[in-house]
Amino acid sequence: MNKPMGAYLVTQSNRSRGRSTREIVDAAIDGGVDVVQLREKHATARERYALARDIRKRTWDADVTFVVNDRVDTAVAVGADGVHLGDDDLPVGVARDILGPDALVGRSVSTVEGARAAVDAGADYLGVGAVFETSSKETAEEETEIGLETVESVANAVDVPVVAIGGITPENAEDVVAAGADGVAVVSAITAADDPAAATRELAAAVERGGGR
């Protein structure tokens, strides 16, 4: 995987202070985002498809990587670069069979064992978290902090890019990348910012200071 994953936006419209996901994505692109992941868990499949189709065009024009959260069918339908999978989604190998060898398949993990299993199954990159406490997910289990030590352990255990997620801000992103992450994925740090474009620039700068890409 040659394109950078440094500043990684995960969309979530109920965190955007009344602004549309399209507005947030445009601002993040202006700010130099590397990856956009369409999440929008509360949208219907039809709504998510319409939004994904629109964002695919915006990211394509800007040469920004675009992945769809969970939904392999939506990723196929809009020609996304790939999909990001969690514990309740299709297995990595099944997603690969559907999407083909050139698609990106990411996998969420929180342990070294899970990271190794995901890579063995064919994951191209890992989303590792939650690093710090976060309110962007909805169950206590998902909000458990794994800390910088686990980020470092996972990064040392695998040879694919590691994207840290969970409670990350421009203020702490440098430390997260210095611990071994190749990039940082955020929801509120961009979507809820007063100026999402400026927040994206700050996040990207912090990643660069930490030594990420």
Annotated binding-site members: 37-41, 69-70, 89, 108, 134-137, 167, 187-188
Q: Where are the alpha helices (DSSP H) in the chain?
A: 21-30, 45-62, 72-78, 92-99, 112-121, 147-157, 173-178, 188-191, 196-210
Tokens of 208: 């660069």
Give CA angle at 115 (199, 157), nearest 5°.
95
Give the HSE-up count for residue 103: Cα atoms under 13 Å, Cβ half-sphere.
23
Burial code (b: 16+ CB inside 10 Å, e: under 16) for 32-42 equals bbbbbbbbbee
CA distances from 14 to 27, 80, 167 (A): 17, 23, 17
Tell me the one-letter amino acid at 108.
Answer: S
Residues with Cβ within 8 Å of 62's Cβ and at least 6 positions away in sequence, in order, are 29
Beta bridge partners of 35: 8, 65
Residues in binding site for Mg(2+): 70, 89
Number of other residues whose CB lies within 10 A of the CB of residue 211: 12
Residue 94 carries which DSSP code?
H
